[in-house]
Structure 1
Amino acid sequence: MIPSAFRRGALGAVGVVGFLALLEAAGRLGIIDRDVLPYVSVVLATAAELAADGEFHRHVLATLAACASGLLIAFAAAVPAGLLLGTVPVVERSVRPLVEFLRPIPSVSLIPLAMFLFTDSADAKTSLIVYTCCWPLLINTLYGLADVDPLAKDTLRGFGFGEPSVALRVSLPSAAPFIATGVRIAVGVTLIVAVSVEIISPGGGGIGAYLVEAGSANRPDRVLAGVVWAGLLGLAASLLFAAGERRLFRWHTVRTGEAV
């Protein structure tokens, strides 16, 4: 019997190949102006060339480094903050209005402010990634803490453990699957924010800076090839973190009825 995960992956691959084939046919038939959008085959060939391009590698590494550092800083700040808010009701009630006000603000709308506050575009990029990643990490930590079994906490308190010990021994481990989901969600948006900042301020390098350079050189094939690689990197990161989440917290996905 074919595993369901393999079957879903195969169907997804067929859908992607079919879509690309339709675009290629539309270009060959003149439905799409090749001066505006190059053939899919040309874009894919250019993307293959970029795989061996050292300059493009440096741009990719600049973007990935900013994403990784921003995510780590956000994790170090948001998870302890979520633990504090989730275990101290007074603090949670005081801060919740501020959280609900700031959370919906799109990160890209803060790019001009970040550029004003930070003279280095790399610092501006990292700060916006931190801002973006904090919210899914914070909110998922709060959801995880709300899902902790009250009996487990009461049992530990019955043995004389204080609130800090209860939080570290029961609440945080129980909330770990939710925090992992927050990390996976955050990973999905880091690349979007990083490339957006790099497009607006290309001085610090990165995939966005490469797209700007390719556009200035009137090379739409290179622009689209860079977009292809950005999409592949985002997909790879999402799949990697999702696989790690399933492996580490298999017990949680089974309990909640999610597919494994």
Structure 2
Amino acid sequence: MSLDVLPRRAAARRGHRPALSTFVLGLSGLVLLAAAEEVVSRSGLVSTQYLPPASVILARLGELLTNAPFLADLGATAGSAVLGLVIAVPVGLVVGLVLGLVPAAHTATRIVVDLLRPVPAVAIVPLLVLVTGTGRASVVITIVSATVWPVLLNTIHGVRDVDGVALQTARLYGARLPRRLAEIVLPSAAPVIAAGVRVSIGLALVIAVAAELLIGTDSGVGAYLLAATQGGSHTDYAFAAVCAAGLLGLVVNWAARALERRFLPWSEGEPR
């Protein structure tokens, strides 16, 4: 065996340990939260009708994850979130590139961006219901209006932070804009853009459920929550549905990070 294999194996083991310890710490925090909720619920401080014990919620979660109608609702919410992201991410990326690369465009639109960015996406729901009705279109538009901003703003900042000397040198050597974008701008800005995409992914599920609740759709996790909380008799299933949506978001976030590590290995130093 070559001796240089040993340092590589030791480094690999060291790389796995932080990830394992992070997972264990995160899991322990979740267990402590569930235990505290169980104690509060069982103590009688809050009625179990409104705050079911964590053990009951976990049992209901197991039921829901094997229940075809609920899985269909979860799929409807996830589908809306994915469709919204498919629209929002390219729009945010393209517009962000333009505003980041063209100073005049950035200056001309700064007031508009600062004016629209703080507006909550759910604030436009009543108008959307009037225009498009209570169908999936209203949910998707609400998701797009919320998730486009992290991608747009991170793209602008990522592009504007690209090394100006590198860009000027590329221009002097005759590199055209497409080449400068492909070889300098996008690789440099990619970690910041990816961080914006991750934020949008997490936001998409939250906005999807909130929009379903406000719009009153006939399917989705939001529709399930409305049905489960009517009369206050099935709050345990409502909490379980929220946990199921959270699990879906957690899995999607892990997948997004894995893809980022695979295709953007130079972004490992970026904050997460």
Higher alpha-carbon deviation: 212-221 or 101-110: 212-221
Residue 29 of structure 1: how far off its partner (Å): 3.0
CA displacement at 1:153 relative to structure 2:
1.4
**SS in structure 2 opposite 1:203?**
coil
AA at the equivalent of 2:262: R
Task: Determine which of 29, 49, 58 is the counterpart of 1:35.
Answer: 49
Aligned match of 1:167 in 177, 181, 204? 181
> Unmatched 5+ residue regions in structure 1?
none
- Alpha-carbon RMSD across the aligned residues, in angstroms, is 1.9
**Partner in structure 1 of residue 123 of structure 2:** 109
| Alignment partner, residue 210 of structure 1 | 224
Q: Which residue pairs with 2:8 in the alignment?
A: none
Q: 1:228: how far off?
A: 0.9
Q: Is the 8 A contact 2:134 2:215 kept in 1?
A: no
Matches within 5 A, 1:31-180: 31-180=45-194
Deviates more, 1:220-229 or 1:18-27: 18-27
Q: Is the 8 A contact 1:67 1:194 kept in 2?
A: yes
- Report if the CA contact (8 A) 1:122-1:204 is conserved: no
TM-score normalized by the length of structure 1: 0.92
| Deviation readout 1:78-107 (Å, 9 max, x if unpaired) | 111111111111111111110111011111
Residue 27 (structure 1) shift? 2.7
Identity rate of aligned residues, in percent?
35
User: Which whole-Å deviations, capped at 9, do the CAs of 1:48-75 have from their partners, x for residues lacking one?
Assistant: 0001100001101100111001001011
Amino acid aligned to 1:197: A
Find the aligned partners of 2:36 and 2:92 in 1 and give their Cα distance. 44
TM-score, normalisation: structure 2: 0.88
Change (3 A) 1:124 1:13: same
Unaligned runs of 5+ in 2: 1-13
Q: How many residues end up aligned between the 2 structures? A: 257
Shift of residue 120, structure 1, vs aligned partner: 4.4
What's the secondary structure of 1:91's corresponding residue?
helix
Distance 1:211 1:186, change over 3 A: same
Deviates more, 1:238-247 or 1:222-231: 238-247
**CA positional deviation for 1:169:** 3.5
Partners of 2:177 and 2:18 in 1: CA distance: 44
CA distance in 2, matches of 1:18, 1:120: 40
